[in-house]
A and B are shown apart, each in its own frame.
Chain A
Amino acid sequence: MADAGLLRFHVPEPEVRPGGTPDFSNVTIPKAGSVPRPEIDVDPRTIRDMAFSIIRVLNRAGEAVGPWAGLLSDDELLEGLRHMMTLRSFDARMQMAQRQGKTSFYMQHLGEEAVSCAFRKALALGDMNFPTYRQAGLLIADGYPMVTMMNQIYSNEADPLKGRQLPIMYSSKEHGFFSISGNLATQYIQAVGWAMASAISNDSKIAAAWIGDGSTAESDFHSALVFASTYKAPVVLNVVNNQWAISTFQGIARGGSGTFAARGLGFGIPSLRVDGNDYLAVHAVAKWAAERARKNLGPTLVEYVTYRVGAHSSSDDPSAYRPKAESDAWPLGDPIVRLKNHLIQRGVWSDERHTQAEAEILETVIAAQREAERHGTLHAGGKPSARDMFEGVYAEMPPHLRRQRQQAGV
């Protein structure tokens, strides 16, 4: 169209809005097993196309195929399934507890369970994650007690964070889980710094940075890529692309770059995309990236292609901005169903055992919940004291805070 040279302002739009028919036909899904697995010391320039593909292991028949398959034993896979089911069950209970007024806020992982659960298994003791609020699978898969998580969610008397933090903003150095900030992207560059420190100290530990698709727009994401690239920091740079950032579709943060993984290419960082709903693929790619970091080969950027099935948080209602059935149309399926089918296909699992496991897990979660609730919930029962509010601002309480605490009479 001739427009006499007048400029036009461009704003990207998602394919479909509420009322429309969900359509992911524009999302190209390569066949499982079709993406090669390079050596970890590969020249990054030769694998640039991997930033535009999707590494997948599980095919439609539930078989594990291709060069990224074969790393996990039956027991490890069964454990992985249990972790994902636990996280889902935990989320459902805590989401309900929030609705019942037992806490102020909750964020769930529905549909994204494979990402954090499988990733954790690729790290070693002492490695450090710098997670966002949607990676509780890192804790579940590391055996962090659910009761402790719930105590934090309830801000009760047993909350390890003394009621100071918003629900789900956990922290556990012991479990390689850096304190969640809530300010997006800030921790991405901190992960790089932690990794640089490990290299400076000639240690063997590596770091993992976490960010959502939307948050990659923050400057801290780009700072992290520069530092990681310049110092070849031993860090895995994870981008969880769940298609949405609250009401904003991923195209607003991605712009013209094609994929989030491709952001790494300009920095010379090997950049991979992986099927985030495929436990085996996530684990295999995480292992590859972790090994690179540990062998002094530097950072890897990994984009997990997944879908946020639930609302952004307990304060959000997605029906206002995306079709209700969009998650059903998501072409990469459900991570739990896919691993379940694979295990059945392997002959080590069955529908009956799955149903039974579901019930067992629910029971465990409910038992943990009961125990946590004995210590109180946000508005009832045992609470952290008002004294706790004044502690921990500094290593040693300065006189002005001491005075204020006195004034508060606590």
Chain B
Amino acid sequence: MPRRTMIEAIRDAMDVSMARDERVIVFGEDVGFFGGVFRCTQGLQAKYGKSRCFDAPISESGIVGSAIGMAAYGLKPCVEVQFADYVYPAYDQIVSEAARLRYRSNGDFTCPIVVRMPTGGGIFGGQTHSQSPEALFTHVSGLKVVVPSNPHDAKGLLIAAIEDPDPVIFLEPKRLYNGPFDGHHERPVTPWSKHELGEVADGHYTVPLGKAVIRRPGAAVTVLAYGTMVYVAEAAAEETGIDAEIIDLRTLLPLDLETIVGSVKKTGRCVIVHEATLTSGYGAELSALVQENCFYHLEAPVARVAGWDTPYPHAQEWDYFPGPARLGRALVETMEA
């Protein structure tokens, strides 16, 4: 099977979708001729023409707002916001419009759009190229939220998102674009070509929204992770020698509660990890759900490891980033609790 980077897998998902369905339209800042600052749309304009892949003015509200209009007409726009940190001008369009269109028109109008954006830190991007705003979207009724962690899933999830009848926020952990980063910034990253999850089948396939996957089976503690944190969790399990069961959520909304509950009932312990800030982060929702559904099976308090509640700093990137050492400590504490 061909190996691809996450960038190539994402590009392939759009390519396959555009080839299968004329209604699929791709646009965003620097997306057309150049193919995006991360090159995720490279070649799509040449292949499908300027009416189906084009450069947008620098206006995130304009990009999402016009995508909503196109969706209302009957197209299926898959738009790019250059960095998740720049999505806020589009927030009103996403929250007040895209998320509610089906509900308020009782299905008369719908909004099958995908808003792709690179997310997360680890590239010394400072506060404007590092944020993880997923919880700002999971909090909104009417949106689906996806965070892939590898090329295989990224392609299948993006195709599923494009085919989904409702708006999907598709967050791409940029630190994973070229390889599975586990937080050990001092070591070189293994490229996807050397990782089995870099295997990406040609053609059409989907990874269904709302289905988590167990990345590492284990008996001692359940770790709930997504995106970059999946690899941080793998490193932490290995380095502490704790037999953790690592669940890659893949989709935050809808959430695969069954897989989570099944695992926590088995292990009796749960550690949640995300890069986004702690307070009111998605971990709070996960923690509440675990407590509601697994209370009588829990042998330790549910723990959360997250970004500190500060803006994402530049120089102190590795003090901020919840790496394997910090997660490892939480695993040990949870085992000892």
Cβ contacts A231-262/B at 8 Å (1 or 0 each) = 00000000000000111100011010000000
CB-CB < 8 A to A386: which residues of B?
A: 316, 319
Cβ contacts B245-270/A at 8 Å (1 or 0 each) = 00000000000000000000000000
CA gap between A162 and B128 in the complex, in Å: 16
At the interface, yes or no: B88 with Cβ under 8 Å from chain A?
A: yes
- Interfacial residues of chain A within 277-317, with CB under 8 A of chain B in the complex: 315-316
CB distance from A77 to the nearest CB of B (A): 35
CA gap between A9 and B61 in the complex, in Å: 20
CB <8 Å contact, A155 and B314: yes
Given A214-B58, A253-B57, A384-B316, A408 contacting B308 (CB threshold 8 A)? yes
At the interface, yes or no: B203 with Cβ under 8 Å from chain A?
A: no
Binds A, one of B4-12, B47-55, B102-110, B208-216: B47-55
At the interface, yes or no: B33 with Cβ under 8 Å from chain A?
A: yes
CB <8 Å contact, A247 and B30: yes
CB <8 Å contact, A219 and B51: no
CB <8 Å contact, A219 and B126: no
CB-CB < 8 A to A400: which residues of B?
A: 279, 309
Identify A218's interface contact among B55, B89, B126, B279, CB under 8 A: B89
CB-CB < 8 A to B86: which residues of A?
A: 183-184
CB-CB < 8 A to A184: which residues of B?
A: 58, 86
CB <8 Å contact, A181 and B310: no
CB <8 Å contact, B319 and A218: no
Given A217-B62, A248-B30, A400-B279, A163 contacting B316 (CB threshold 8 A)? yes
Given A164-B311, A183-B88, A183-B128, A215 contacting B58 (CB threshold 8 A)? yes
CB distance from A315 to the nearest CB of B (A): 8
At the interface, yes or no: A1 with Cβ under 8 Å from chain B?
A: no
CB-CB < 8 A to B61: which residues of A?
A: 218-219
CB distance from B54 to the nearest CB of A (A): 5
At the interface, yes or no: A267 with Cβ under 8 Å from chain B?
A: no
CB <8 Å contact, A182 and B310: no
CB distance from A247 to the nearest CB of B (A): 4
**How many interface residues does A have (CB within 8 Å)?**
51
Identify B315's interface contact among A320, A384, A393, CB under 8 A: A384
At the interface, yes or no: B37 with Cβ under 8 Å from chain A?
A: yes
CA gap between A215 and B62 in the complex, in Å: 12
At the interface, yes or no: A401 with Cβ under 8 Å from chain B?
A: yes
At the interface, yes or no: A31 with Cβ under 8 Å from chain B?
A: no
Q: Is the interface of B mostly helix, strand, loop or mixed?
A: loop
CA gap between A219 and B57 in the complex, in Å: 11
CB <8 Å contact, B55 and A11: yes
CB distance from A220 to the nearest CB of B (A): 8
At the interface, yes or no: B32 with Cβ under 8 Å from chain A?
A: yes
At the interface, yes or no: B43 with Cβ under 8 Å from chain A?
A: no
CB <8 Å contact, B279 and A17: no
Cβ contacts B86-122/A at 8 Å (1 or 0 each) = 1011000000000000000000000000000000000
At the interface, yes or no: B137 with Cβ under 8 Å from chain A?
A: no
At the interface, yes or no: A327 with Cβ under 8 Å from chain B?
A: no
CA gap between A404 and B215 in the complex, in Å: 29
CB <8 Å contact, B57 and A389: no
Cβ contacts B274-317/A at 8 Å (1 or 0 each) = 00001100000000000000000000000000001111011110
CA gap between A282 and B314 in the complex, in Å: 35
Given A378-B124, A400-B309, A166 contacting B315 (CB threshold 8 A)? no
CB <8 Å contact, A252 and B34: no
Identify B34's interface contact among A104, A183, A219, A321, CB under 8 A: A321
CA gap between A271 and B38 in the complex, in Å: 37
At the interface, yes or no: B181 with Cβ under 8 Å from chain A?
A: no
At the interface, yes or no: B320 with Cβ under 8 Å from chain A?
A: yes
CB-CB < 8 A to A11: which residues of B?
A: 32, 50-51, 54-55
Q: Is the interface of A mostly helix, strand, loop or mixed?
A: loop
At the interface, yes or no: A410 with Cβ under 8 Å from chain B?
A: yes
Cβ contacts B53-70/A at 8 Å (1 or 0 each) = 011111111100000000
- Interfacial residues of chain B within 105-151, with CB under 8 A of chain A in the complex: 124-129
Identify A104's interface contact among B88, B124, B320, CB under 8 A: B124
At the interface, yes or no: B29 with Cβ under 8 Å from chain A?
A: yes
CB <8 Å contact, B319 and A217: no
CB distance from A223 to the nearest CB of B (A): 11
Considering only CB atoms, which chain B residue lies closest to A393 in the complex?
A: B310
CB <8 Å contact, B59 and A219: yes
CA gap between A205 and B317 in the complex, in Å: 38
Residue among B54, B61, B126 with max Cβ neighbours from chain A (10 Å): B126
CB distance from A84 to the nearest CB of B (A): 28
CB <8 Å contact, B125 and A166: yes
Residue among A104, A169, A400 with max Cβ neighbours from chain B (10 Å): A104
CB-CB < 8 A to A247: which residues of B?
A: 30, 33-34, 37, 55
Residue among B56, B129, B310 with max Cβ neighbours from chain A (10 Å): B310
CB <8 Å contact, B59 and A217: yes
CB <8 Å contact, B128 and A219: no
At the interface, yes or no: B234 with Cβ under 8 Å from chain A?
A: no
CB distance from B240 to the nearest CB of A (A): 18
At the interface, yes or no: B163 with Cβ under 8 Å from chain A?
A: no
Identify A404's interface contact among B127, B129, B309, CB under 8 A: B309
CB distance from B102 to the nearest CB of A (A): 25
CB-CB < 8 A to B315: which residues of A?
A: 155, 159, 162-164, 378, 383-384
At the interface, yes or no: A174 with Cβ under 8 Å from chain B?
A: no
CB-CB < 8 A to B85: which residues of A?
A: 182-183
At the interface, yes or no: A79 with Cβ under 8 Å from chain B?
A: no
CA gap between A390 and B316 in the complex, in Å: 10
> 9 nearest interchain CB pairs?
A163-B315, A166-B126, A217-B57, A247-B34, A182-B128, A155-B315, A104-B124, A386-B319, A389-B316
Residues of A near any B CB (own CB < 8 A): 9, 11, 13, 17, 104-105, 155, 159, 162-167, 169, 181-185, 214-215, 217-220, 245-248, 252-253, 255, 315-316, 320-321, 378, 383-384, 386, 388-390, 393, 400-401, 404-405, 408, 410
Residues of B near any A CB (own CB < 8 A): 29-30, 32-34, 37, 50-51, 54-62, 85-86, 88-89, 124-129, 278-279, 308-311, 313-316, 319-320
Q: List 7 A-B contacts (CB under 8 A).
A: A9-B50, A11-B55, A155-B315, A164-B126, A183-B128, A215-B58, A219-B61
17 new A-B pairs (CB below 8 Å) besides A11-B50, A218-B58, A384-B316? Answer: A105-B125, A155-B315, A159-B315, A164-B313, A181-B128, A183-B85, A184-B86, A219-B59, A219-B61, A247-B34, A252-B57, A315-B37, A390-B308, A390-B310, A393-B310, A401-B308, A410-B319
